[in-house]
Amino acid sequence: MLQSPKQTPLTIIVHGGAGNVSPHYHTAALQGCEAAATAGWHVLQDGGSALAAVEAAVRVLEDDPVFNAGTGSVLNADGEVEMDAGIMDGATLQIGAVAAIQHYAHPISLARRVMEASGHHILAAAGAERFAQSQGFAPVPNQQMIVPRRQEQYEKRLAAGTADTVGALALDAAGNVAAANSTGGVNFKLPGRVGDSPLAGAGFYADNAFGAVATTGQGEHIMRVGLAWRAMQALEQGTTAQQAAQQAIALLQERVPDGRAGLIVVDTAGRVGIAHCTRDLPTAYWRQGAAGPVSALRA
């Protein structure tokens, strides 16, 4: 049974991507996650929806060159940025996603517009970009989103030392949950490759009856087991958010032994869960009653 609005503890949790974060970026990754959680928290405190909170949080991460989303995304095999993003409203089960897009610095906002204005759930590549133009989104030169360290990784063919995907979950005062993910994908991917991030049930899911999930890591591994949906099934069976996260990662490791992934979970009581089988997963969350966000590099 859903809690009444008066009993619902406001909650926001974000992740900065499962992977191996270079020691040089440990502090910046945690600070970036805290900034994103704070942005989402302010939306919730002001009476905003969970949907608006996760969008606001992910936009902060997309603007931070430390993370592999928006500005700072990794480069594909052609040396270009291609991005995916997805968002879901737990109150309506509506989904919006974009895949393999360029020229737009906030894919998460475009994904939300797909959900609200297109009549579809996913738009990709040139079609998504034409939709963005029709909706008044301002394109930017794709080169503008390439930061020096990503260019250096491309030139040296280095795949280590980076994180993957960013995401956010929120629970608002009305008891609504929402999930959002955004990513530049994997280093040196083939042009047109789409990962788990824009796929409901793999990269994210939200349902007011149980909670919300956002995953991160190697998209091909995540898609094989439907990682977000596995965590949702655990919540449906009555587990806590932390148990759901741990069970989902355990299943991934069982079914895909070389799998690399992580996830964050929030349940309808505002409890958060964090689990990963990578070395690092920078996260930050802010729950009602706390003085500020709680961040960590590893669960």
- Condensed to tens digits (0 to 9), the pLDDT of residues 94-105 reads 999 999 999 999
Least Cα distance to 106 among 131, 125, 83 occurs for: 83
Name the phi and psi angles at 18, rounded to 5. Answer: -80, 135
Least Cα distance to 175 among 54, 44, 292 occurs for: 44
Name the phi and psi angles at 143, rounded to 5. Answer: -60, -25
CB atoms within 10 A of CB 120: 14
| Residue 8 is a catalytic residue | no
Residue in the block written with tokens 């900065």: 16
Which one of 8, 11, 38, 165 is the catalytic residue?
Answer: 165
Condensed to tens digits (0 to 9), the pLDDT of residues 44-90 reads: 999 999 999 999 999 999 999 999 999 999 999 999 999 999 999 99
Tell me, yes or no, whether 130 lies in a domain.
no
State how many domains the chain has. Answer: 1
77 torsion bin: left (phi>0), alpha (psi -120 to 50), beta (else): alpha
Give the confidence band of 115 by pLDDT, cuts at 50, 70, 90. very high
Q: How far apart are CA 92 and CA 72, in angstroms?
A: 32
Tell me, yes or no, whether 206 lies in a domain.
yes
Could you give the angle at the alpha carbon of 191 between the alpha carbons of 282 and 57, nearest 5°? 30
Rg of the chain in Å (alpha carbons): 17
Tell me, yes or no, whether 176 lies in a domain.
yes
**Lowest-pLDDT range of 110-119, 182-191, 204-213, 233-242:** 182-191
Tell me, yes or no, whether 62 lies in a domain.
yes
- Mean pLDDT for the stretch of residues 209-238: 97
Give the confidence band of 93 by pLDDT, cuts at 50, 70, 90. very high
**CATH number of the domain bearing residue 280:** 3.60.20.30
State which residues form the domain around 186.
5-74+84-93+146-296
CB atoms within 10 A of CB 270: 24
